[in-house]
Amino acid sequence: MAVKVVHVSDLSGRQAAEGQLGRLVVREHPDFTQTPITLEVLPDEIGELPESETYVRVEYIPPGETSGQHLTLSVSRFNKLSSSEDMKAVLMRAIAEEHQARATEAPPRRRGRRPRGNGQPARRTKVNYASIEHAGEPHRGRITEAEKEIVREHLDEVNQRLSQQGLRTIDPTDPEMQKRYGLAETAA
């Protein structure tokens, strides 16, 4: 048994050899989705195509609206929108104004870095929480055995310093604080 493949034009239904068919790709159509649709066509069915033009895709948002209408205009039609001056000049001015507006806005601040006089980020000095000056202060790191020991041995002094600094104090009756600083042994 043999299988015969027949190629036909999607536009006219005329038969043609596979090598004779071209492709017409519909990239955008108002009645169909944005997925390209490919048609097989014969060159004489297309005829003389106009020279390819360049287009400008725009969105027009009317006053008081939040969404707009998307349009595709030929460059020549788009350029005619400005009756007072050249459209390239209008666009260049708008770009310059947008850049200037961005430059005058405050730059976003980066967390944890403070600029130094020479423009370089300030380096943080490492805090030794295992010292009497910083033991018990809230911090993200792991609480070392040395810090726990200082808090246990100097709890009143540590709490006085924390209170003076406006920080939370260490409550030896709080189960979480007991666990964090190993106070369960001394709270008994």
**88 closest CA partner among 36, 96, 27, 167:** 96
* Domain positions in the chain: 7-46, 55-102, 127-188
Position 130, amino acid: A
**74 closest CA partner among 52, 46, 102, 105:** 52
Position 118 scores a pLDDT of 61
Position 185 scores a pLDDT of 54
163, 170 Cβ separation under 8 angstroms: no
pTM of the model: 0.38
25, 32 Cβ separation under 8 angstroms: no
Position 26, amino acid: V
pLDDT in tens, 62-121: 777 787 787 787 888 888 877 778 888 878 877 777 778 777 776 665 555 555 556 566
Number of Cβ atoms within 10 Å of the Cβ of 168: 13
Three-state secondary-structure class, residue 170: coil
Position 38, amino acid: T
